Structure 1
Amino acid sequence: MTGTTKNRTPNRLFTAAAVAAASLIACTVPAAAHTPVEITSAAVRPWQGPLILDGQNPVMLFGTLPHPGSLRGAQLHMTAGQQLSVALAIPDKAPENQLATDRLPKVVVVAPGGKVTVVQVTVRIPITTESGQNLLVLGNTTAVALTGDYSIAVVGAAAERFALATGVEGDEPFIGVARGTVATDAAVAAWYATPPQSAHR
């Protein structure tokens, strides 16, 4: 493994990184096809937060962490063989885009069997949603799902907003959400426009 890494040329490494980045953008952009669902302050544990009834439906879960140590959670119901995809993004505006990596939100995904995956912050890819919001994609995790509920926990390291792009874009209809509702365009716009220090969610 070490030998293979050493033999790679800079051009090959750049190409691999570019392909990975393009793939990340393609599967995580919270565009119009992503159904918005807000994670409010009542959802401090995954089982208290929104439950997406088909975790492969493309959804944008969004919320605000008002201070370091704030918790938000949600769950995705998956069927064996489906594609699990969870990506972390933040608004590409102050204060979030000025934060050091260690002060960005921490996201943990827990599988039905208990396996824990941390969504690593590895990139800062700027994107613009179809509604004109500028975001930074920070990292993602994908896997072939097991049957059951996947729990997502978000921990704040500062006062900050976050978005989670989940699911895979396709032709399947949105099945629905339990313990929550689909957010209006106005609610998404208010989240994006309101600095975390001023939020009361």
Structure 2
Amino acid sequence: MKKLLALVIALTFLGTHSAPAHQPVDLLKTDTTAAKGPLLVDGTVSFAIRASFTKAGEKKGFRAQLQEGDALNFQYLIMDKKPENALKMTQLPTLVVTGPGGFKTTMKLNERTKFLETFSQTMYLYLGRHSSVAKSGIYSFLLTSRGKASITLGVGDKEIPGEVLRGPAPTPTASAKASASASASPTTAGYTMTQVKANNSAKSCWAVIDDYVYDLTKWINSHPGGSGAIISLCGTDATVSFKAQHQNQAKPAVRLDSYKLGPLQK
């Protein structure tokens, strides 16, 4: 009891604020643009995007999907310990955020507010915050370093599990190419329905949705509704089935887009 009271007194004296844990996402060396970086499927979910730089001029980025009227919330933070807390604001990476409707803002580092991240018992410093109403679409975040530094961006505020997508859209697998009766590469007009029908198994599963061809092979064993729901779509025009299950749902649409191969040839 005495230890708890001492901790409360210490935090009060420091003027700190307790904050919940964010789901961590580390930016990689290959995340050199927002398009190459990870996609937060729901940008209202609480994420902690961590980025480390070794020299000036390095870039790292990521994206966040938001719906019309969602809260666009993000914060710029550093750990309250050396070397980061000894750096001047002008030595830290810049952050530029762009989005739908011509949205563009450069994060202003204009505060230095302490808070305790309770999960790891780590002290941080808020250096800047942004809050506005989002338009529907993808928001891109790009950091550019001015020297060696590590920072954290807090995105979203809902303390629920979130989904993060990485990497480009999957390309046709070797088995898909072998089983297709024609080349897996599209013509200038797109993929043919003959190619789609040839990829009709769990080993190579293509489907058409709204006149676009998708390779769903890697999604079969990850589908929350079970593999059978995807296998039944292999080699078919699955537009009606997909819309019956996921009409106007953002997360399935974003997930589906990551498996797009190209347009269906008319």
CA–CA separation in structure 2 for the residues paired with 1:135 and 1:84:
21
Q: Does 1:155 align with 2:155?
A: no
Structure 1 residues 40-59: aligned runs within 5 Å: 40-59=28-47
1:23-74, CA deviations, whole angstroms, 9 ceiling, x for partnerless residues?
xx68xx4x32x11111111101001111000000011110101111111101
CA–CA separation in structure 1 for the residues paired with 2:83 and 2:162:
35
Alignment partner, residue 128 of structure 1:
116
Query: Which of 85, 106, 109 is the matching residue for 2:94?
Result: 106
Instruction: Give the SS at the match of 1:134.
Output: strand
Query: Which of 166, 182, 186 is the matching residue for 1:179?
Result: 166
Equivalent residues of 2:23, 2:162 under 8 A apart:
no
RMSD over aligned Cα atoms: 1.8
CA–CA separation in structure 2 for the residues paired with 1:108 and 1:149:
14
Alignment partner, residue 169 of structure 1:
158
Equivalent residues of 2:75, 2:126 under 8 A apart:
yes
Once the two structures are TM-superposed, the CA of residue 114 in structure 1 deviates from its matched residue by 2.9
User: TM-score scaled to structure 2, two decimals?
Assistant: 0.54
**Counterpart code for 2:70:** Q
1:111-137, CA deviations, whole angstroms, 9 ceiling, x for partnerless residues?
123321111000011222111222111
CA–CA separation in structure 2 for the residues paired with 1:77 and 1:136:
26
CA–CA separation in structure 1 for the residues paired with 2:57 and 2:78:
17
Equivalent residues of 2:107, 2:129 under 8 A apart:
yes
Equivalent residues of 2:64, 2:140 under 8 A apart:
yes
**Counterpart code for 2:79:** P
Q: Which 4+ residue blocks in structure 1 deviate beyond 3 angstroms?
A: none
Gaps of 5+ in 2: 1-14, 168-266
Once the two structures are TM-superposed, the CA of residue 140 in structure 1 deviates from its matched residue by 1.0
Alignment partner, residue 183 of structure 1:
none
Q: Does 1:39 align with 2:31?
A: no
Q: What percentage of residue pairs aligned between the two structures are identical?
A: 28
Alignment partner, residue 135 of structure 2:
146
User: TM-score scaled to structure 1, two decimals?
Assistant: 0.70
Equivalent residues of 2:44, 2:155 under 8 A apart:
yes
Gaps of 5+ in 1: 1-21, 181-201
Instruction: Give the SS at the match of 1:61.
Output: strand
CA–CA separation in structure 1 for the residues paired with 2:82 and 2:153:
19
Query: Which of 45, 52, 64 is the matching residue for 1:76?
Result: 64
Query: Which of 84, 94, 100 is the matching residue for 1:96?
Result: 84
Once the two structures are TM-superposed, the CA of residue 158 in structure 1 deviates from its matched residue by 1.6
**Counterpart code for 1:144:** V
CA–CA separation in structure 2 for the residues paired with 1:96 and 1:161:
7
Q: Does 1:64 align with 2:42?
A: no
Larger radius of gyration: 2
CA–CA separation in structure 1 for the residues paired with 2:112 and 2:58:
23
Instruction: Give the SS at the match of 1:74.
Output: strand
